[in-house]
Amino acid sequence: MIEFKNVSLKYPNGHQGLKNINLKINDGEFVVIVGMSGAGKSSLIRSINRMVTPTEGKILVDDQDIITFNEKKLRKLRTEVGMIFQSYNLVKRMSVLRNVLAGRLGHTGTIRSMLGLFPQKDIQFALDNLDRVSIHEKAYTRADQLSGGQQQRVSIARVLTQQPKVILADEPVASLDPPTSHKVMKDLKRVSREDNLTTIVNLHFIDMAQEYADRIIGLRDGEVVFDGPIDQVTEKTFEEIYGRPIKEDDLLGGDDD
Ligand SMILES: Nc1ncnc2c1ncn2[C@@H]1O[C@H](COP(=O)(O)OP(=O)(O)OP(=O)(O)O)[C@@H](O)[C@H]1O
């Protein structure tokens, strides 16, 4: 379980990114965070792996307050909490397989992995994870030869290879066209269900949020203004979260399946 207790984050310039957040996220939930640009979605998600550090409160991950963690504990935390980025963050000149094997870095000795000496079982595991996101045949292709949607599927395979308990995804489909966005979100939802992973995704399109979330958390100006299961969410909910009527730009569209 992930628990936020009175969490606030004030950036060094004085900007209040998060204001007194209280949340409990249960194991295996697929949660989507929504809110306008600047609402605090990235700040919230990045607090959970301490890419940013809240200035007040506690964040308990499996009952341990990660805000107090030192470098050693943070390394372990970041093995257990995997991350998917909008920009994929692959090493472009390396093969897809090497990128996916990077997910093992927290498990394999650094020298061995720098030399590319991954155990055969890790290589097989990486290939199996590429297969789960239907991109197995690209294993030996350089990462920069792939389309954006393919690269994001590689980054899903990488995070699975890390064997995390939690996946954080910060606007994972914001750089993709509508049909590709849906394919990537379907893959992410399916694998996280199959492995019972807690998954927390930032999305700014409300139709995507409605289609994939089990639960929606709405942020405005750094505060939680809505938190509830997807069957309680209507267009009015989004209007309340956004503080204005819904516009066409708030919808992605394009799910043909
Ligand atoms: N390092 C920083 N220093 C100062 N202010 C910051 C910093 N990072 C974010 N902010 C500010 O904190 C607020 C929340 O930012 P955050 O990136 O969490 O929002 P967001 O909802 O993810 O927005 P977006 O969808 O545009 O990424 C914004 O007003 C932003 O400008």
**Residue 7 is assigned to a structural domain of this protein:** yes
**Residue 74 is assigned to a structural domain of this protein:** yes
**Residue 216 is assigned to a structural domain of this protein:** yes
Mutate to test the pocket of ligand 1, among 13, 19, 43, 44 (most ligand atoms within 8 A of CB): 43
pLDDT for the residue numbered 257: 56
Taking the C-alpha atoms of residue 117 and residue 101, their distance in angstroms, rounded to an integer, is 10
Distance 70 CA to ligand 1 centre (A): 25
pLDDT exceeds cutoff 70 at 11: yes
Burial class of residue 148, CB neighbours in 10 A (0-12, 13-18, 19+): middle
Average pLDDT score over residue span 43-58: 97
Within a 13 Å sphere around the CA of 47, how many CA atoms are in the beta-carbon half? 30
Question: Which two tokens mark 192?
Answer: 């996280």
More confident call, 122 vs 114:
122
Please indicate, yes or no, whether the overall pTM of this predicted structure exceeds 0.80. Answer: yes
How many domains are there within the chain?
A: 1
**Residue 254 is assigned to a structural domain of this protein:** no
**Residue 143 is assigned to a structural domain of this protein:** yes
pLDDT for the residue numbered 118: 83
**Residue 12: which domain range?**
2-248
CATH number of the domain encompassing residue 63: 3.40.50.300
**Residue 49 is assigned to a structural domain of this protein:** yes
**Residue 255 is assigned to a structural domain of this protein:** no
**Residue 35 is assigned to a structural domain of this protein:** yes
Nearest atom in ligand 1 to 18's CA: 14
pLDDT for the residue numbered 103: 87
pLDDT for the residue numbered 204: 85
Three-state secondary-structure class, residue 34: strand
Residue nearest to atom 7 of ligand 1 (CA): 11
pLDDT exceeds cutoff 90 at 247: no
**Which residues are CB-neighbours of 75 under 8 A, at least 6 positions away?**
106
Distance 41 CA to ligand 1 centre (A): 8
Taking the C-alpha atoms of residue 168 and residue 189, their distance in angstroms, rounded to an integer, is 12
Q: What is the pLDDT of residues 88-116, one digit of tens each?
A: 999 999 999 999 998 888 776 666 666 66
Model ipTM value: 0.95
DSSP notation for 182-217: HHHHHHHHHHHHHTT-EEEEE---HHHHHHH-SEEE
